[in-house]
Amino acid sequence: MSMNPCDIIRKKRFGGELSEMEIRAFVDGVVDGSFADYQASALLMAVCINGMTDRETLALTLAMAKSGDTLDLSDIPGVKADKHSTGGVGDTTSLILVPLVAACGVKMAKMSGRGLGFTGGTLDKLESIPGMSISKDIVDFKWQVKNIGCAIIGQTAELAPADKALYALRDVTATVDCLPLVVSSILSKKLAAGCDVVVLDVKAGSGAIMDTPEKSRKLAEMMVRIGSLSGKRFSALITDMDQPLGNYIGNALEVEEAIDVLVGRTGGDLKTVALTLGAHILRNAGAAPDVQTGIRMLEAKIVSGEGLRTFGDMIEAQGGDRRVVEDTGLLPKAPHKVVLKAERDGYVVKMHTSDIGNAARLLGAGRERKTDVLDLSVGIVMNVRLGDAVKKGDLLATLHVGERSDRIGAYNLLKKSIVIGDEKPEAKPLIQAVVE
């Protein structure tokens, strides 16, 4: 049955609730081109202004998930799980939790994205490992998940093509941060990818997509609600992005820090968030009775070396040099280092996380446009955390600089983004809320 785009736009413009059939007609029209870009844009703006009910958001999510291929992972025995982050700086949790969760017996079938703007992309990080390939066909992907327990690849199949088309329009019509559109965009790809359990990491703070704690909370609650209505098991954690999660920012540097965590050489906020997310996956998959037990199980896989071994197996299965897990010196290294020192005594009172991410981007670690070519060796190593006491001349951060880096731009932006004051700031919780 053909539906007139104008009728659908008019109904939403006046605040009406669209039927499942009208939403399906819209999504199909975006994919096959029978909805013109200007009509789709008009409807996106109407949704942005008038919102959507849960029923509409679920219908939109499911229609987008079914707009292309959907993966059937049912022939892989056991529970299949995935994790999604709304994007942060120094956030390498996937590279830590995927092998650890797999070592605990829950299959991790993960499709990831590339970095854009100040947020790092998991695929770019993996590609800094010599020889590592992030493209696999579905047969190989499923074989790897079944036999090794985990895989992280780029979106191979034409999963949720409606999302690609709609995201491009949202990007140029100022409708990116509209909640129902954010939720359907993220969840449609996760549902199309076929996992049973999904844990979401929703960032809050100065380096987050949602700029206030209230908005982050709303996004987390809506994603869990809509995700659970689809019949899958969803949980979300709201985690702090008022400073980079790890101390290493940049592609090869973040792989190095992930390996340091898996070896047991380093801890801190990055490890805490990775293990907490992993423990929620274990609990939701029925592999652990509760989150605390899940954290202990993951810790045990670090101590026994099984998590690191599984990471090595995954790297090898995807064509990479597994020796990097024993020797991070095999990762690309930037030719120059520039140090940033404190200009006064005091405390680190504030960090502008998105500016720190953008400083790494100016060095060549991130993209402004999708076509930009990255320098996988460059980035920033932070030497301080919020609340640390510093003396004049203390090392705040080290910039790892390449030949193409805008070293002056990056240095000045980084310098501005770390604020030193007289009073020690109050510590904020790292994990602000759990949404079940």
Triad 59, 65, 70: Cα angle to 5°: 140
Strand order in the sheet with 197-204: 150-154, 107-112, 80-85, 197-204, 233-240, 431-435
Cα separation, 205 vs 220, whole angstroms: 14
Cα separation, 142 vs 122, whole angstroms: 19
Say if strands 336-341 and 395-401 run parallel, antiparallel, or are unpaired: antiparallel
Closest by CA position to 143, among listed 105, 100, 109, 113: 109
Instruction: Cite the active site residues.
Output: 84, 163, 170, 185, 189
Reduce the secondary structure of the chain to three states and give it as a string: CCCCHHHHHHHHHCCCCCCHHHHHHHHHHHHHCCCCHHHHHHHHHHHHHHCCCHHHHHHHHHHHHCCCECCCCCCCCCCEEEEEECCCCCCCHHHHHHHHHHHCCCEEEEEECCCECCECCHHHHHHCCCCCCCCCCHHHHHHHHHHHCEEEEECCCCECHHHHHHHHHHHHCCCCCCHHHHHHHHHHHHHHCCCCEEEEEEEECCCCCCCCHHHHHHHHHHHHHHHHHCCCEEEEEEEECCCCCCCEECHHHHHHHHHHHHHCCCCCHHHHHHHHHHHHHHHHCCCCCCHHHHHHHHHHHHHHCHHHHHHHHHHHHCCCCHHHHCCHHHCCCCCEEEEEECCCCEEEEEECHHHHHHHHHHHCCCCCCCCCCCCCCCEEEECCCCCCEECCCCEEEEEEECCCCCHHHHHHHHHHHEEEECCCCCCCCCEEEEEC
Token code pair at residue 135: 């493209």
Cα separation, 102 vs 298, whole angstroms: 10
